[in-house]
Amino acid sequence: MTGNTNTTTDFRNTILNGDSVQLMRALPRNAVDFILTDPPYLVNYKGRDGRKVRNDDNAGWLRPAFNQMHRVLKWGGFAVSFYGWNRIDLFADAWKAAGFRMVGHIVFHKSYSSSSRFLRYEHESAYLLAKGNVTPPASPIPDVIDMPYSGNKLHPTQKPVAALLPLVEAFCPKGGLVMDPFAGSGSSLVAAQHLGRDWLGMELDPDHAATATRRLAWHGTARVAA
Ligand SMILES: C[S@@+](CC[C@H](N)C(=O)[O-])C[C@H]1O[C@@H](n2cnc3c(N)ncnc32)[C@H](O)[C@@H]1O
């Protein structure tokens, strides 16, 4: 599915299946209020059940994707991007080359280890990125957030919605548009929808895009029905 992207209302509350670099090129600049994204970590991930993440084995998409994210984000807007801690050099280069300023670092504390080798790996990390002159939130949130186990039932690296809610609340104005160009099963968009923000997801894998579409429709219906 590729939506009509002629006006800013056409792509609100939609999951687009395709390469987000191409899809973002079709969006106008300054169209999005907040980006919350969990891109491939560039670690060639393979879960215990053998599931993989597309584009986790190459960085060809990294700079073009963040260039586009910077272009479509409104001036004075924020982005939060998860990243693979052992690929921070590549991610930081891409963020800075795109024009983002790194204005905060967020640690998501897990109550379990995702792996264990030199350390028990019990946190995820993200950077808070800014485009232009940003206004700090009236009540800044802590930069350590609890991250419960998602169960990974809908996606091999599914993020729990609970850990994403404070970010949407703090960095997207009410009625604003949250975009995730690496949406997976749509967790960031469920957080946006739950808080009454509009949302736009992009996902390369058709199965994950279908999962996200179903999930957002279900949560939307549940919210209306409640
Ligand atoms: C780390 S996962 C996101 C998981 C998501 N946070 C969730 O809770 O389900 C990254 C996703 O980006 C997708 N992806 C990789 N390259 C992409 C591209 N060029 N355009 C759109 N999606 C892409 C992968 O298929 C994968 O589902």
Average pLDDT over every residue of 55-75: 98
pLDDT of residue 222: 62
Average pLDDT over every residue of 81-96: 97
Q: Is the CB of 70 under 6 A from ligand 1?
A: no
Q: What is the DSSP string of 149-205?
A: ----SSSTTPPPHHHHHHHHHHHS-TT-EEEETT-TTTHHHHHHHHTT-EEEEEESS
Q: Tens of pLDDT along 51-62?
A: 999 999 999 999
Pocket test for ligand 1, best of 42, 54, 211 (most atoms within 8 A of CB): 54
pLDDT of residue 190: 98
Q: How many residues are listed for the chain in this entry?
A: 226
Residue 5 has pLDDT above 80, yes or no: no
Nearest CA to ligand 1 atom 17: 204
Local confidence band at 48 (pLDDT 50, 70, 90 cut-offs): confident
Percent of the chain with pLDDT over 70: 94
pLDDT of residue 226: 32
- Going from the Cα of 139 to the center of ligand 1, the distance in angstroms, rounded, reads 31
Q: Is the CB of 124 under 6 A from ligand 1?
A: no
Instruction: Residue 11: name the closest of 216, 219, 26 by CA.
Output: 26
Average pLDDT over every residue of 78-84: 98
CATH topology of domain 8-225: Rossmann fold (3.40.50)
- Predicted TM-score (pTM) of the model is 0.94
Nearest CA to ligand 1 atom 16: 55
Average pLDDT over every residue of 208-223: 88
